[in-house]
Structure 1
């Protein structure tokens, strides 16, 4: 079976001296329909996708419980940003660390990231081609898909939300949510 992962980004700005940029990935073998049926239970009816910041604290606790019972492997790569760091620079640095981890340690063949603006996706693909030419990665394929189109993209959003909430408050601290956390260092 070809291993696949779904990814999203987050920036932690509270309870930290510098913003922390994160790329989070959930490695998942579940089909899209089963993930959608599970997570639709807590997705607001008017929303096109499930987003951590758009749900109530009660729904966040439900999400945490749901994710704990799914067969997922979770990876976060983060970088501390000084006030002068551009988000895109932090994103590139995180990709430089994350992609080789996914390909070499987890044997991921396809990573699907939540799509951003078209010009941003194109810039990411050029950066990823550069990583490939410099032998950071070899066969890992990266797709960009709108968040509403694949519910598996909701998984890393929720995982990053859980992680950020655990580190900023005690709201969901009672969870035992396994995350392979890696640092890309400090970016100035």
Structure 2
């Protein structure tokens, strides 16, 4: 079974527009224990997770190389919006593009990093997509804390690399560019 681990990243870019990214890393279920072990070994000291945004540059190189070494694909939904816009609206557009794409690729299980009370909005979108038969009924979708599943950290890394690249930081992108599929997530 193919599993997708999903995390977000957002930033205000130089030209005063905002970028919202939902990155899904697709991993075979039989490789999850190995991936989790590798990601757990990358934690620094007593840190509960690997989190791209808080890592120093030297550690980012180590982490980026480790995630890039995985034989996996990534699907990234991207929404650009003005500074007067809202990130929740951008997330909704990304979810509406990403979940059907994951279903079409035969993903059997999707795990999002939980945003606690905000997960309810994601669940409402999931329900609407299921009712509209835009995603497979058998595709399981769950929300987990980042500290509870080290495989989620792979998505955090990809999301961070993509938002960095789209913001002008070219340093890590070459490691991932051949394995990332982009989805434009804009208003219909």
- CA–CA distance in 2 between the matches of 1:100 and 1:174? 27
Q: Is the 8 A contact 2:26 2:74 kept in 1?
A: yes
User: What is the distance in 2 between the residues matched to 1:129 and 1:49?
Assistant: 30
Decide whether the 8 Å contact of 2:49 with 2:147 is kept in 1. Answer: yes
The CA distance in 2 between the partners of 1:173 and 1:89, in whole Å, is 27
Match of 1:121 in 2: 119
CA deviations 1:39-58 (Å, max 9, x no partner) are 23332212111100111111
How far did 1:14 drift?
2.9
- Root-mean-square deviation (CA, aligned residues, Å) is 1.9
Query: Cα distance 1:125–1:173, how it changes in 2: closer, same or farther (>3 A)?
Result: closer
Higher mean Cα deviation, 92-101 or 128-137? 128-137
In the alignment, what sits opposite 1:13? 12
TM-score, scaled relative to structure 1:
0.89
Cα deviation digits, residues 66-85 of structure 1 (max 9, x gap):
11211111010011112232
Tell me the secondary structure at the aligned position of residue 8 of structure 1: strand
Partners of 1:173 and 1:150 lie apart in 2 by 25
Match of 1:4 in 2: 3
| Alpha carbons 2:81, 2:90 under 8 Å: kept | yes
CA contact (8 A) 2:16 2:83 kept: no
Matched residue, 2:152: 153
2: CA distance, partners of 1:80 / 1:109 = 29
TM-score (norm 2): 0.89
Which stretches in structure 1 are left out of the alignment for 5+ residues? Answer: none
Pairing 1:128-167 to 2, within 5 Å after superposition: 128-139=126-137, 140-167=139-166
Match of 1:179 in 2: 180
Tell me if the contact between 2:19 and 2:163 (Cα under 8 Å) persists in the aligned partners: no
Offset at 1:126? 1.8
Q: Count residues with an aligned counterpart.
A: 184
Moved more, 133-142 or 69-78: 133-142
Q: Do the aligned residues in 1 keep the contact of 2:96 with 2:125 (CA within 8 Å)?
A: no
